Amino acid sequence: MIEYRNLRIALLGAGNVGSQVARLLLENGRELADRAGAGLELVGIAVRNPDAERAVDLPRELFTTDAQSLVVGADIVIELIGGLEPARTLILEALNSGADVITGNKALLATHGAELFEAAEQVGAQLYYEAAVAGAIPIIRPLRESLAGDNINRVMGIVNGTTNFILDRMTTLGESQEQALAVATDLGYAEADPTADIEGYDAAQKASILAGLAFHTIVPIESVYREGITGVTLEQVEAARRAGFAVKLLAICERISADGAPDGVSARVYPALIPSTHPLAAVHGGKNAVFIEAEAAGDLMFYGAGAGGTETASAVLGDLVSAARRHVIGGPGVGESHSADLTILPIDDIITRYNVRLDVLDKPGVLAAVATIFSEHGVSLETVEQAVEETDAATATLVIGTHRATEAALAATVSALADSDVVRSVTSVLRVEGS
């Protein structure tokens, strides 16, 4: 048996993911050492309460409440406590002491990523974060390395399992959003306070990270446009399904460079219609997937579990083996590339297609009046249908599909429609992606 030099691994946090990382590290240590070319010695686990009950039985002597002391002298620090502080300070301390850091902390990366990457570069340390986006799915490394020689035009991700679970049940079982959320909560897919998921905050953090990787540009969380799914009704989902679409909460990162729009990149999160033939439409339940459109490589999709303790632990351990190999062989690793530094566009400049539903007066001339409002605002119509739903006798429901138009033009159109005498109400506006 080969004798390896031991690397000192410090683990911060022993929650759902952290406790599985500790378990796998202790159980598979020898195998991981063979792959890494170094022993991986778990020297301690920093937690707030060592006596708290945990899903995994871990040696009591590994626990400490003194995260700061644990970080000092570690070769590799794994941060899985989440949140901004003390995670940020501990990571900076670890990097400054020369340790490599592995984190699954999407909130921290989306908020303080620039500072952390800068700190790592200053001292020649590495920051790994495969676990921060789409759980078990290897997406960071493919974007950062495999596609480094290509130009990415667009990334569309289903990166939040809770919302996909809810929208999928609404679509396939006809449940209301409230019913589906209740099931998600019962099954542990949704947290007690589901705001971060259903309002799209979680997906927006991931969009920030994905956009940075795809476009070699720092895209801070403040510049990510965000809408959650709370406004999505069963009626919208069912109308979409009848029309051949699925409703998905998408994290979209796009490079825009023609079409009359300003040059730049956009990162945004909103519920959108995608054609039911699109590979993303087949992503069911709590699964995640990231669809990438690259100039040379064409369309790619990465699919798998977006959350879960052992699943996310797999991504952490992959980073750990990478970090350990780097310690054995030397050299500062891949590093971040923000060389492009592109302009980040506001939502108003974004161009896409829209699906608009209107309740209008059921009398001659109304369709022409509605069409005129669209055309006055520079939005051209692709399809107009009268919905078959029963409303009262004096009201008709129009379903309008537009050609590509800016968000600003569409917003002005919707505002003018709402003010129009012939329109009773604009009942639904959804963007259409992936077609």
- Interface ranges with a copy of itself (CB under 8 A): 20, 24, 28, 31-32, 34-36, 130, 136-138, 140-142, 145-151, 216, 279, 282, 294-305, 308, 310-311, 313-322, 325-326, 329-335, 337, 339-340
- φ, ψ of residue 415 to 5 degrees: the values are -60, -45
Closer to a copy of itself at the Cβ: 32 or 358? 32
Closer to a copy of itself at the Cβ: 98 or 378? 98
Closer to a copy of itself at the Cβ: 103 or 177? 103
CA atoms within 13 A on the CB side of 18: 24
Count of CB atoms within 10 A of residue 370's CB?
22
Min dist CB 76 to a copy of itself, Å, is 12
The number of residues making up the chain comes to 435
Min dist CB 395 to a copy of itself, Å, is 40
Min dist CB 302 to a copy of itself, Å, is 6
Closer to a copy of itself at the Cβ: 46 or 147? 147
82 in Cβ contact with 101 (< 8 Å): no
Min dist CB 318 to a copy of itself, Å, is 4
Min dist CB 151 to a copy of itself, Å, is 7
Write the CA distances from 138 to 9, 131, 133, 282, 380, integer angstroms: 22, 8, 9, 19, 40
184 in Cβ contact with 165 (< 8 Å): yes
Angle at 138 between CA 217 and CA 208, to 5 degrees: 30
Residues catalogued as catalytic:
206
CA distance 48 to 29: 26
Closer to a copy of itself at the Cβ: 148 or 394? 148
- DSSP string of 126-185, one letter each residue: -EE-GGGSSTTS--HHIIIIITTTS-EEEEEEE--HHHHHHHHHHHHH---HHHHHHHHH
- The strand pairing partners of 274, in sequence order, are 246
